[in-house]
Amino acid sequence: MKKKILVTLLTLTTLFCFTGCEYEVEEVNVDTETASMDVNIPTLDKELAIPDEDFTLLCTYDTSGYDLSKWHVTDSKTIGMKVKTNNLPEDYEVYIDHVHADISLKSTSLQINGITQDSMDDTFHGQSQDGFYINNTDEYYNVFSIEGYTDQFYQLWGYAFGNYGTVSSKYQRLTENSIIGVGTYAEKLSVVYDISIKKPNSNKVYTKSVSDSILIPVSQDPETTTVIKNTNTESEN
């Protein structure tokens, strides 16, 4: 009987250790980078340097009319990406091999900061050329379709609240209110472009990687509606 009681106490103690803890109150500093754009304009042009090259990449991002001043994490939305070269030397050939993009949370809460909401990969699968061809006029265009809720997002949110990857009703729900409530102030779009370059009179192709990031402020107004049930009833005469 004593052994059974001891085992029970140990089991309960273990359960409390795993399920009773709250997330830490450690905080990180707010990212001082800001999206260098008017939040009412859904386009952004950027010029990216390529290591040890004399030409650059011109990137234009758009949100297909989505109002950046009302950016909500849990909204499904799209980000368009146009890429072409600038000041490309004559007879150079440039191809985009692969594009990887992530959208992640920026938060003052240590456990939430950096959680990835959604990701995208685009790779050239053809055999006729070395990738997506670009130059000063011909551009690459792709759309990053961001889902408001993804399995990855649910899982990482669950990890952040100590539920080891499985979100249940016992833990904080993944809602816009919850996201804002834990100090989320922006989302960070991170993009890596892998490009192949062929110089004139050369049969060799070499690869360079170029990274970019945009910080998009998250609206602190979740725009949720509370429905109040009318309990007043008219009495019959």
Residue 75, domain CATH? 2.60.40.1470
Tell me which amino acid residue 60 is: T
Question: Is the whole-model pTM more than 0.95?
Answer: no
**Is position 159 within any domain?**
no
Separation between Cα atoms, residue 195 and residue 96, nearest integer Å = 4
Residue 60 has pLDDT above 90, yes or no: yes
**Is position 29 within any domain?**
no
Residue 74 has pLDDT above 70, yes or no: yes
**Is position 196 within any domain?**
yes
**Is position 211 within any domain?**
yes
Q: Mean pLDDT over all residues of the chain?
A: 79
The pair of three-digit structure tokens given for residue 18, joined into one six-digit string: 């795993």
Residue 215: φ, ψ to 5°: -100, 120
Closest CA to 98 of 210, 22, 200, 203: 210
Task: State pLDDT tens for residues 173-193.
Answer: 889 998 988 889 999 999 999
Question: What is the mean pLDDT of the segment spanning 53-80?
Answer: 93
Q: Would you say 193 and 209 are in contact if contact means Cβ atoms under 8 Å apart?
A: yes
End-to-end Cα separation, the chain, in angstroms? 68
**Is position 163 within any domain?**
no
Residue 151 has pLDDT above 80, yes or no: yes
Task: State residue 159's pLDDT score.
Answer: 83
Task: State pLDDT tens for residues 98-129.
Answer: 999 999 999 988 888 999 999 999 998 777 77
Domain count, the chain: 1
What is the three-state SS of the chain?
CHHHHHHHHHHHHHHHHHHCCCCCCCECCCCCCCCCCCCCCCEEEEEEECCCCCCEEEEEEECCCCCHHHCCCCCCEEEEEEEEEECCCCCCEEEEEEEEEEEEEEECECCCCCCEEEEEEEECCCCCCCCEEECCCCCEEEEEEECCCCHHHHHHHHHHCCCCCCCCCCCCCCCHHHHHHCCEEEEEEEEEEEEEEECCCCCCCEEEEEEEEEEEECCCCCCCCCCCCCCCCCCCC
The parent domain of residue 52 ranges over 37-105+115-148+186-217
**Is position 101 within any domain?**
yes
**Is position 206 within any domain?**
yes
- 107, burial (CB in 10 Å: exposed 0-12, middle 13-18, buried 19+): buried
**Is position 222 within any domain?**
no
User: What is the CB neighbour count within 10 angstroms for residue 188?
Assistant: 20
The pair of three-digit structure tokens given for residue 236, joined into one six-digit string: 């019959």
Sheet containing strand 56-62, strands side by side: 43-49, 56-62, 77-86, 140-146
User: What is the CB neighbour count within 10 angstroms for residue 129?
Assistant: 11
